[in-house]
């Protein structure tokens, strides 16, 4: 198991190198620089522009900037944001728990509903349930996130008054310093009556919105994977042995059908970690997706470079965990057979 881990970890090194290079060059290919973008109508004199570029080190040759950046990374220094003047790692760590909390909730929502829905659809293939479920999944998959989020706010918050509009907690009723950054935990630690339930209420809409696409993907993936497995000889054998349908599907078929689903769960989680921008924007969720997009708009090179590297690290670690999970589900993968 240790060798398997080591091998997988070694494979991530070239990924990191490529990522460092691509992130560094791509942001610099975008026209405009951090100083000019901020100036707007006011403009800036060429002398002052030169002075500020010098102060920020932007007048250095690109190769020198790249070496400085890599050197910093090797020493654990992700740079300092040009805009907020705070260390990128510190900004990231302030925002990441919010993203992670929402991602976990959305993935749980998608897994808990998506996988059983796919299994049932496969078991009742071609029936009304199967067809309507797959129709719903396709609709969920094609739904524009922004529109879906706003519709839910209008319905659930403004019309039915069931959920709050946005944010992570009622700012008037509750106030406590974040301890972990995970509001579900911090609200309990705060000891304030009702805070935890309020956090849960605030999580409902963003969880549904962010979880909708993964839910549709998991349902469809599980269904097709299950259909394949249900045709296998060992399933027929299990049935012939007189096992109940529940045991055949739930124990024999599902375990093998889950391998491709686990892959997709890993990929989707990675996507959500960095790409929940729209959900974060609609629901005023202080996460890293929105921060990264704003960094592009402001040409905040250090924030963008550091942010992408940190997210990439999280995604790579996640993929490593998924690889390990394969090994647990199917030992043949672990032993390289």
Partner 1 sequence: MKSTKLLGLSLLMSTMLAVGVANAKSLVYCSEGSPENFTPAINTTGTSLDAARPVYNKLVQFTPGTTTVVPALAESYAISDDGKVITFKLRPGIKVHSGVNGFTPSRDLTAEDVIWSFERQLKPDHPYAKVSAGSYDYFNDMGMPDLLASIEKGADDLTVVMTLKEPNAPIMANLAMDFATIHSAEYASYLTAKGTPEQFDQIPVGTGSFQFVDYQKDAVIRFKAFAEGWAGKPKVDDLIYAITPDATARYAKLKANECQVMIAPNPADLADMAKNADVQLIQQAGLNIGYLSMNALKPPFDKAEVRQAVNMAIDKAAIIKEIYQDAGQPARNPLPPTIWSYDESTKDYEYNPDKAKEMLAAAGVTSLDTDLWWMPVQRPYNPNAKRMAEMMQADLAKVGINATLVSYEWGEYRKRLQAGEHQMGLLGWTGDNGDPDNFLFLLSCGADGTPAGQNIAKWCNADFNAKLLEARKITDQAARTKIYGEMQAIFKAEAPWMTVAHSTVFEPIRKEVSGYKVSPLGAHEFQDVDVAE
Cβ nearer to partner 1, comparing 220 with 298: 298
CA distance 201 to 334: 41
Among the candidate windows 71-79, 168-176, 214-222, 320-328, which touches partner 1 by CB under 8 A? 168-176
Q: Contact, 288 vs 311, CB < 8 A?
A: yes
Query: Closer CB to partner 1, residue 7 or residue 173?
Result: 173
Check binding of 310 to partner 1 (CB under 8 A).
no
The dihedrals phi and psi of 80, each to the nearest 5 degrees, come to: -125, 135
Q: Strand, coil or helix: what is 328?
A: helix
Check residue 33 for interaction with partner 1 (CB under 8 A): yes
Tokens in use for 32?
């405009």
Burial track 115-143 (b if 16+ CB lie within 10 A, e otherwise): bebbbbbbbeeeeeebeebbeebeebeeb
Site track 38-57 with partner 1 (rule: CB under 8 A), x = hit: xxxxxxxx--x---x--xx-
Stretch that binds partner 1, among 105-113, 135-143, 147-155, 323-331 (CB under 8 A): 147-155
Question: Which residues are within 8 A (CB) of 239 and not within 5 positions of it... i.e. 6 or more apart?
Answer: 248
Count of residues binding partner 1 (CB under 8 A)? 63
Binding window for partner 1 (CB under 8 A); candidates: 30-38, 119-127, 308-316, 321-329? 30-38
Cα→Cα distances 156→139, 149, 172, 194, Å: 20, 10, 21, 20
d(CA 222, CA 233): 19
Contacting residue, 137, 199, 282, 312, with partner 1 by CB under 8 A: 282
Residue 3 binding partner 1, by CB under 8 A: no
Residue 251: φ, ψ to 5°: -105, -50
Residue 216 class from Cβ within 10 Å (0-12 exposed, 13-18 middle, 19+ buried)?
Answer: buried
Please identify which residue in the block is written with the tokens 């790692």: 89
CB of 283 to partner 1, least distance (A): 7
* Pick 116 or 178: Cβ nearer partner 1: 178
Query: Under 8 Å CB-to-CB from 66, ≥6 apart: which residues?
Result: 21, 24
Which x/- pattern, by CB under 8 A, does the window 185-224 give for partner 1? Answer: ----xxxxx-------------------------------
32 vs 135, beta carbon nearer partner 1: 32
Site membership for partner 1, residue 255 (CB under 8 A): no
Binding site for partner 1 (CB under 8 A): 30-33, 36-45, 48, 52, 55-56, 83-86, 91, 94-95, 98, 150, 153-154, 157-158, 161, 164-168, 170-179, 189-193, 281-287, 290-291, 294, 299
């Amino acid at each position: 198991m240790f060798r398997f881990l080591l091998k997988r970890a070694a494979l991530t090194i070239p990924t990191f190198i490529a990522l460092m290079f691509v992130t560094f060059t791509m942001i610099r290919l975008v026209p405009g620089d951090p100083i000019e973008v901020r100036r707007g109508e006011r403009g800036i004199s060429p002398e002052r522009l030169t002075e500020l570029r010098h102060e920020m080190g932007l007048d250095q040759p690109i190769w020198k900037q790249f070496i400085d950046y890599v050197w910093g990374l090797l020493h654990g220094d992700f740079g300092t944001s040009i805009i907020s003047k705070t260390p990128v790692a510190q900004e990231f760590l302030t925002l990441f728990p919010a993203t992670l909390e929402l991602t976990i909730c959305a993935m749980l929502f998608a897994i808990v509903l998506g996988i059983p829905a796919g299994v049932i659809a496969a078991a009742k293939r071609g029936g009304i349930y199967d067809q309507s479920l797959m129709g719903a999944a396709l609709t969920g998959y094609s739904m524009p996130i922004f529109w879906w989020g706003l519709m839910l706010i209008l319905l659930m918050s403004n019309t039915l008054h069931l959920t709050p509009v946005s944010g992570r907690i009622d700012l008037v009723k509750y106030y406590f310093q974040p301890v972990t950054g995970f509001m579900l935990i911090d609200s309990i630690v705060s000891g304030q009556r009702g805070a935890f339930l309020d956090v849960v209420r605030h999580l409902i809409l963003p969880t549904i919105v962010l979880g909708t696409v993964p839910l549709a993907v998991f349902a469809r993936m599980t269904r097709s994977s299950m259909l394949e497995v249900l045709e296998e000889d060992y399933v027929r054998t299990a049935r012939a042995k007189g096992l109940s349908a529940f045991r055949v599907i739930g124990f024999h078929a599902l375990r093998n059908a889950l391998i491709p689903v686990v892959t997709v769960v890993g990929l989707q989680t990675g996507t959500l970690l960095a790409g929940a921008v729209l959900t974060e924007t609609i629901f005023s969720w202080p996460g890293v997706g929105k921060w990264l997009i704003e960094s592009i708009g402001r040409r905040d090179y250090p924030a963008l470079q550091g942010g992408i590297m940190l997210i990439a690290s999280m995604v790579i670690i996640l993929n490593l965990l998924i690889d390990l999970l394969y090994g647990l589900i199917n030992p043949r993968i672990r032993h390289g057979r």
